[in-house]
Amino acid sequence: TGAADISTGVGFYDHMLHQIAKHGLFDLTVRTEGDLHIDAHHTMEDTALALGAAFREALGDRSGIRRFADAKVPLDEALAEVTVDISGRPYLVHSEPEGMAPMIGRDYDTTMTRHIFESFVAQARITLHVHVPYGRIPHHIVECQFKAVARALRSACERDPRVTGVPSTKGTL
């Protein structure tokens, strides 16, 4: 349904996880206690790893799902293009405009966006391509990525009544 109860201690990251819940229609309850006295890196990384593992488990044997999906999401001047394959093979391709400000707020290092997706993909065992061809405001560049990932995952996970079994000629994903 998209219900979310999220607290990681990193405000902007919480905002991004709310995007995953809302736009992916995934119910998320996230409680992370990390070493924020050092920085937010491990908190965000470990949360992404746990979410990826939970996502993989929730998919079960992946029988009857669409498997492939894509989404394009604009946010004012920024655009994110995402393609996903619920493949069983973890792989990330990620690109965003160069020269982005290093921080959003006081806790979100913008280089973490790629690492969050890498961590999620590793545990979810999916192939994910995220491309932001343009954008100017870091908040918008990052947020449209999370929204587009959510939309693509939502579509790829949907049941397709025409699919019987696992959508693979190998019989497994």
Q: pLDDT of 95-128, one tens digit each? A: 999 999 999 999 999 999 999 999 999 999 999 9
- For strands 108-109 and 78-85, give the pairing: unpaired
- As a whole number of angstroms, the distance between CA 18 and CA 72 comes to 18
Q: Does position 26 have pLDDT exceeding 90, yes or no?
A: yes
Check pLDDT > 80 for residue 168: no
Q: Which residues contact 83 (CB under 8 A, 6 or more apart)?
A: 68, 69, 70, 128, 129, 152
Q: Which of 114, 81, 83, 118 is nearest to 98 (CA)?
A: 114
pLDDT for res 99: 94
Q: Which amino acid is at 56?
A: R
Task: Using alpha carbons, select from 81, 69, 87, 91 the residue that is nearest to residue 159.
Answer: 69
Across 16-25, 69-78, 162-171, least confident range: 162-171
Task: Count the neighbouring beta carbons within 10 Å of the beta carbon of residue 158.
Answer: 13
pLDDT higher than threshold 80 for residue 173: no
Write the pLDDT tens digit of every residue in 30-59.
999 989 999 999 999 999 999 999 999 999
